Chains A and B, each alone.
Chain A
Amino acid sequence: MSLRFLVAALIGSLLAGCATDDTRSRAIRGGEGIPEYQALVKQSVQSMEKALSALDRVTTATVPLSPRTVARFSSRIVSLQAESLKVRARSQALQTRGDAFFQHWEESIVSVKDSRIRELAVRHRPQLQEHFTHIKAASQTTEQSFRNFLAGLRQLQVQLESNHARALPPRLVEETRDHGKEVIKSLQAVSRELNDMQALVSPSHYPTPP
């Protein structure tokens, strides 16, 4: 009887210990920070390149275009709108929240386990904030260019779906393509800023003292 009681007490104390330590495991997880944003930008550039390729295909194909060609173009525009949702939402959140976004984002960088990264993030906070300001500006440009690009694509889509025997207006095609290139350029600017931020908080970039 007494042995059973001791075992139960031991198990109980172990479980109690687990319960009190559980607060750390229940802590809300931080975001993935810079690498996640870098991956998002890379995917967005790829999506834009696919859209521009689709635009090239319909503008270089001989008229009348086949229904299949028109359908593939329309499908690409649908995919672009879905694939761009996340990066556009990020951009809009950046504009809406401003510095609060950075402060919160910074917390996800300093919540990593590696103390060296945490220390670097604290040490280089002013530079990180400056890069963030550039990202915010580049994101705003990206969003505006994207709206123009998508508007152009949709106008071309309307024309193709109404009459795929007619050639597309060259000026509209050229303007749309230019907007698309602006989107990619702005995304690449965001990518460069993120790379610089990543370098600031990467211990491998700093030589260890002899």
Chain B
Amino acid sequence: MAAVLGLAVLGLSGSCARLAAQPVFWPVVPQVTPDGQRNALKNVRAQANWLQNTTRTAPNFRTGAYDQVWQQFQMLREAFRVFTSTLSQRQLDAGANDLAELNAGLDILQEAFANYHQDVAAGQFSDRAFRNMCQVLGKASGVWIHEFNRATSRLRVGWP
């Protein structure tokens, strides 16, 4: 009986390991309220911080480094998407240009991943190309979050 239970636990932990490799987007019901906005704002900042941390530590990982960085970037994108869904129509109208620029900024950040693959295909050592990618993402995401903070301040996000 104990052996069966043990096998079941092993099977589950295997599934969990596979699931852990996938980004998890919990179904979020955005709230167009000051509290909802503040929470969404904090989440974007947290995800950006996590991305910067991951780009600093991932070059030292033995396996799964690229996937970690990719997943963390996708979590930032998702956090931003959820954040925009908490904005009022007035904020969306007033911030239309800023939000378009922030979206474009995320697209530009994402180019770093394609550049990594191109550099490896061109003959660069993959760990060198990966370090370069992480450095670009780390630095550029700092610029992005700075602009995000400016835009959200202008839009009075989270104000009652």
Contact = CB atoms under 8 A, between A and B. Distances in A.
Interface of A: 26, 28-31, 74, 77-79, 81-83, 85-86, 88-90, 92-93, 96-97, 100-101, 104-105, 154-155, 157-158, 161-162
Nearest to B109: A85
A177 B159 CA distance: 48
B90 interface: yes
Nearest to B156: A28
B91 A101 contact: no
A104 B132 contact: no
A100 B123 CA distance: 44
Nearest to B122: A158
A93 B159 CA distance: 26
A31 B125 CA distance: 44
Contacts of B156: 26, 28-29
Nearest to A96: B100
B154 A29 contact: yes
A86 B97 contact: no
A85 B143 contact: yes
A89 B102 contact: yes
B36 interface: no
Interface of chain B: mostly helix, strand, loop or mixed = helix
A88 B108 contact: yes
The size bracket of the interface on B is: 35 or more
Contact of A89 (B105, B125, B132, B155): B105
B142 to A, nearest CB: 7
Contact of A31 (B118, B142, B154): B154
15 contacts: A26-B159, A29-B156, A78-B135, A82-B139, A82-B143, A85-B108, A85-B109, A85-B140, A85-B143, A88-B108, A89-B104, A89-B108, A96-B100, A104-B97, A162-B124
A50 to B, nearest CB: 14
Contacts of A154: 115, 118-119
Contacts of B123: 158, 162
Please list the 6 inter-chain residue pairs (A to B) with the smallest Cβ-Cβ separation, ordered nearest first: A92-B104, A82-B139, A93-B100, A89-B104, A89-B105, A28-B94
